[in-house]
Amino acid sequence: MAKETRAFQAEVKQILDLMVHSLYSHREIFLRELISNASDALDKLRFEELSHPEWKGSDEEKHIRLVPDKEKRTLTIIDNGIGMTHDEVLQNIGTIAHSGTKEFLKKAKEAKDKPELIGQFGVGFYSSFMVADRVTVHTSKAGTEEGTLWESTGDGSFTVDSVKRPEGHGTTIILHLKKFEDDDSSVEDFADEWVLRRIVKKYSDFIAWPIKMKVTREEDEVDAEGKPIEGKTKKVEEDEVLNSRKAIWLRSPSEVTDDEYKEFYKHVSHDWSDPFERIHYRAEGSQEFTALMFIPSTVPFDYNYRDTKWGLSLYVNRVFIMDHCEDLVPAYLRFLRGVIDSSDLSLNVSREILQKDRQVQAIKKAVVGKVLKHLQSMMDNERERYETFWKNFGATLKEGITNDFSNKEKLEELSLFHSTHSDKLTSLAEYVGRMKKEQKEIYFITGDSLKTLQNSPYLERLKAKDYEVLYCIDPVDEWVMQSISKFKDKHLRSITKEGLDLDSEEEKKKTEEEVKAKEQEFKSLLNTIQGAVAEKVKEVKISTRLVDSPCCLVSGAYDPSARMARMMESMGQSMPQQKRIMEINPNHPVFGRMKDLPENTQKEWAEILYNQALLTEGSPIEDPMRFSRQIANLMTHM
């Protein structure tokens, strides 16, 4: 294939511009990113070799090599990992297909001050252009004889050619280092051995593969008898391994410093922020494994993308097996980052085997138990920190209530909610502890925002009786609250559904009498309203839950809520149309006026009231223009 010149994808050009012009004060991060990429390539090769014994690479130990050259002003990073094909080079370097790129560019201004975004968004290779004005990549995929040579000056284009790599599989990256202004205090010489040592020690000390560099030292010359010759020395080149290669997760927690934990987290998560929490322990007994897991301090940018990968990295006796192993943790703990190292699994375990492996299921069970116990301890002893965690990942954790029956009660105990009691979050146990003696059930309401729920008409009677109501504003709450039928012998009740029983026996008798009297007084109007909205509601009745608002819409006891229907429709899943109950507040002045109006006007007002009820609960109205005309007409004749 002849040498080609190609243009970078538009988004890549923007990223390159950001690297070249915006992040000079953080230049050293380029080396961490390139070493991390090389480490990943070696991990992948080690895993693929298990199923490709015919691959015959060199006998040289798997490693990463740094080659600084002060005279030529270059720094070369070499690995003998899995390498890339021609197509993979174009896909991984020339273009960026994943959705995170545009998200990264949206945050470009923030990235000027937060270089951690580079690794998090998967564009770490481009950080090379912070220190180099020309970058050359020579790579060859394991199992092939072909090589690909890529080169760019970061000016918007690159060249690509087919050139065999003499060393065989792996990747060589040559950075032609920039010349910076002498008065730039942030400049470091990245062709200097001591600078490279410091950066590797800071960011990559725990990398499992040796990071090597040729160093020159002087030693005495010796005579034929092996005795030093006075005044004569010679220069000797030898390999120096720059990283300790200690598997941090296999060390005792007491031996690992906070800084070491932080750097390891950044390596496994591609997040440059410090972790929020860590869980490091060794399980012994029938199932032996070591776990080092972290909870991020912020929600990852792509956390809720459909194609986002999650899961822990799996090692067997320190040998990397796979990344993003979803079988080690349930989906509701997908915020966890880290590693599991087992001494019991076989090295050739595959993803298909993992799903059925009893040992893996036992590890998963133990990990879940440990994490939930850790979270419970945080909730009991560090409530403020736990609430910070909850605001980031509480909605995810609650998912387990709907599908992990063995841990359902623990997850219920860990769940927090906003409520009418105060601005502070509350647990179900705390709610029950505050319940009034005469209160029969735990009351809740679901909705899209806290502000909307705080002003909801459904709360009026409960506020009058000083009964606390939980605000459930996460989308998952529609399923979660259906799954929690009872907590500590107290049934949970949605206040937007029929059957809301708030009164004592004595109060019920009085209320029933009042309702009967109102039904008689408003019988004709009720029939007219029913006729006007018959296609939309199954019944119009006197409400016992409203105090100040004129009306509301109530779902059947076993029907999905209006919000659930809206959510399902937004996901492209149509639901059978469920007619609801329209409850009216006969004490509201609007109905006193309606009684004396002509029937046609009563019907028009009935439609207005129905649409107002939809808007109040957050549902769209079918014909906004008609509603607008009706309101304008009403205002004109007032």
Identify the CATH number of the domain in which residue 579 sits: 1.20.120.790
- Domain assignment present for 545: yes
Q: Are residues 95 and 151 in the same domain?
A: yes
In a domain, 80, yes or no: yes
Q: Tell me how crowded residue 111 is: count the other CB atoms within 10 A of its CB.
A: 23
| Judgement on whether residues 90 and 232 belong to the same structural domain of the protein | yes
**Contact status, residue 57 vs residue 142, Cβ threshold 8 Å:** yes
Q: Is residue 337 domain-shared with residue 285, that is, in the same domain?
A: yes
**Residue 294 belongs to some domain of the structure:** yes
Could you tell me if residue 397 is inside a domain? Answer: no
Total tally of structural domains belonging to the chain: 4
Residues of the chain falling short of pLDDT 70 = 1, 19-26, 56-59, 94-123, 181-187, 319, 347-353, 355, 638
Global pTM exceeds 0.85: no
- Are 300 and 319 found together in one domain? yes
Identify whether residues 228 and 292 lie together within a single domain.
Answer: no
CATH number at residue 315: 3.30.230.80
Q: Are residues 121 and 221 in the same domain?
A: yes
Same-domain status, 283 and 306? yes
Where is the domain boundary, 183, 210, 241? 241
CA distance 282 to 479: 35
For residues 136 and 13, state if they share a domain. Answer: yes
Same domain, 47 and 188: yes
Other beta carbons within 10 angstroms of residue 59's beta carbon come to 5
Q: Is 156 part of any domain? A: yes
**pLDDT value for 119:** 44
Residues 6+ apart with CB under 8 A from 228: 220, 221, 222
Residues 459 and 552 in one domain: no
Backbone angles phi, psi at 257, to 5 degrees: -80, 160
Distances in whole angstroms, Cα of residue 372 to Cα of each of 96, 341, 365: 37, 20, 11
- Do 35 and 169 belong together in one domain? yes
Range of the domain at 631: 510-559+572-636
Domain boundary among 202, 220, 241: 241
CB contact at 8 A, 154 and 178: no
Domain end call among 188, 220, 241: 241
Distance CA 142, CA 45 (A): 8
At 318 the pLDDT is 74
CATH number, domain of 211, equals 3.30.565.10
